[in-house]
Amino acid sequence: MAENNKKSRRKFLNNGLKLGIVAAIGGIGLSKIASKLSAQTEEAHSGEKMELMTADGTLIEVDSSEVMEVHNVKNNEDNYDVREGIPNRKFVMVIDLAKCKNARKCVEGCQKGHNLDYHQEFMQIKLIQDNPLAEPYWFPKNCMHCDEPPCVKVCPTGATFKREDNIVLVDNERCIGCKFCVTSCPYSARIFNWEHKAKFDDKSQPYSPETNVPGATGTVTKCDFCPDLLRQGLLPHCAQSCPEGVIYFGDRNEDIVTNGAETVRFSELINKRGGYRHLEHLGTKPNVYYLPAVDKLYELEDGFEVNEEVKERYKNVPYVKELKKQGKI
Partner 1 sequence: MDIQSRKRELFKEFAPRLETTSLATKIYIGFLVAIILVGIYAFYLQMAKGQIVTGMRDNVVWGIYEVNFILLVCISYSGAFISGILHFFHTPWKTAIARIVEIITVLSLLIGPIYILLCMGRLDRLHYLFMYPRIQSPITWDIIAIITDIVACFIYLYLTFIPDFAILRDHCEERKIPKWVKKLYKTLAIGYQDTKTQRDRLHKITRIMSTIVIVLAIVAYTVLAWIFSLTLQPGWNSTIFAPYFIVGGLFSGVAFIIVTMFLVRKFYKLEKYIRKMHFKVGGIILLILAMLYGYFTFTEYFSRWFSHKEIDTNLLDALFTRYFWVFIFANYVGILVPIGILFFKKFRTINWVTIASVIALVGIWLNRYLIVIPTLETPYVPIQDTRIDYIFYSASWVEIALSFAGVAAFLLMFTLIGKVVPLVPMNYILDSHFTTKKVKQKVNKEISE
Q: What x-and-dash track marks residues 281-300 binding partner 1 by CB under 8 A?
A: -x-x----------------
- Smaller CB distance to partner 1: residue 186 or 260? 186
Please tell me whether residue 309 binds partner 1 under the rule CB under 8 A. yes
Q: What is the DSSP letter of 125?
A: E
- Smaller CB distance to partner 1: residue 20 or 186? 186
Q: What x-and-dash track marks residues 19-58 binding partner 1 by CB under 8 A?
A: ----------------------------------------
Please tell me whether residue 217 binds partner 1 under the rule CB under 8 A. yes
Query: CA angle, 135 as apex, 134 and 139 as ends, to 5°?
Result: 110
DSSP string, 217-260: TT-EEE----HHHHHTT---HHHHH-TT--EEEEETTTTEEE-S
- Smaller CB distance to partner 1: residue 192 or 298? 192
- Smaller CB distance to partner 1: residue 50 or 317? 317
SS3 99: helix
- Smaller CB distance to partner 1: residue 17 or 182? 182
Please tell me whether residue 153 binds partner 1 under the rule CB under 8 A. yes
Q: Rounded distance, CA 39 to CA 69, Å?
A: 10
Q: Rounded distance, CA 227 to CA 75, Å?
A: 15
Written as one letter, the residue type at 205 is Q
Torsion of CA 151, 153, 157, 163, to 10 degrees: 80
Please tell me whether residue 81 binds partner 1 under the rule CB under 8 A. no
On the CB side of 2, CA atoms within 13 Å amount to 0
Query: Min. distance of Cβ 147 from partner 1 in angstroms?
Result: 15
Written as one letter, the residue type at 90 is K
- Smaller CB distance to partner 1: residue 37 or 127? 127
CB count in 10 Å sphere of residue 118: 9
Query: Min. distance of Cβ 296 from partner 1 in angstroms?
Result: 19
Among residues 18, 74, 174, 252, the one that binds partner 1 under rule CB under 8 A: 174
Binding residues vs partner 1 (CB under 8 A): 119, 124, 126-128, 141, 150, 153-159, 174-180, 182-184, 186-188, 190-196, 217-220, 279, 282, 284, 309, 312-314, 317
